Amino acid sequence: MPLMKVHEMRAIPEVELAKRILEEEENLAHLKFQKATSQLESPIIIRTTRRTIARMRTILRELQIKKSSALKQEESKNA
């Protein structure tokens, strides 16, 4: 998967983002296996994959927080 910029990640729907996180985690496990068997071309790939996963998780968490705060504001308006 080519590197995605943060603004591109933010444009992805929440469900799709969670799905991509799982795909990247599977990819990371595969890369670690390749490293263990000395088949990995560059160990930098592992670092960039880990950081991509972290960015995606951060954006997913931001979306969840935004959604819950919107629900709380709506509840306070209705109360």
According to the model, what pLDDT value does residue 4 have? 82
pTM listed for this prediction: 0.85
Question: Sign of the C-alpha dihedral, residues 9, 10, 11, 17?
Answer: positive
According to the model, what pLDDT value does residue 74 have? 83
The per-residue pLDDT for range 37-50, each reduced to its tens digit, is: 999 999 999 999 99
Regions of the chain where pLDDT drops below 70: 1-2, 79
Helix 44-78, helix 14-36: angle, nearest 10: 160
Q: How far apart are CA 66 and CA 25, in angstroms?
A: 25
Q: How far apart are CA 34 and CA 32, in angstroms?
A: 5
Answer whether 35's CB lies under 8 Å from 47's CB: no
77, two tokens: 């308006």
What architecture does CATH give domain 6-78? Answer: Orthogonal Bundle (1.10)
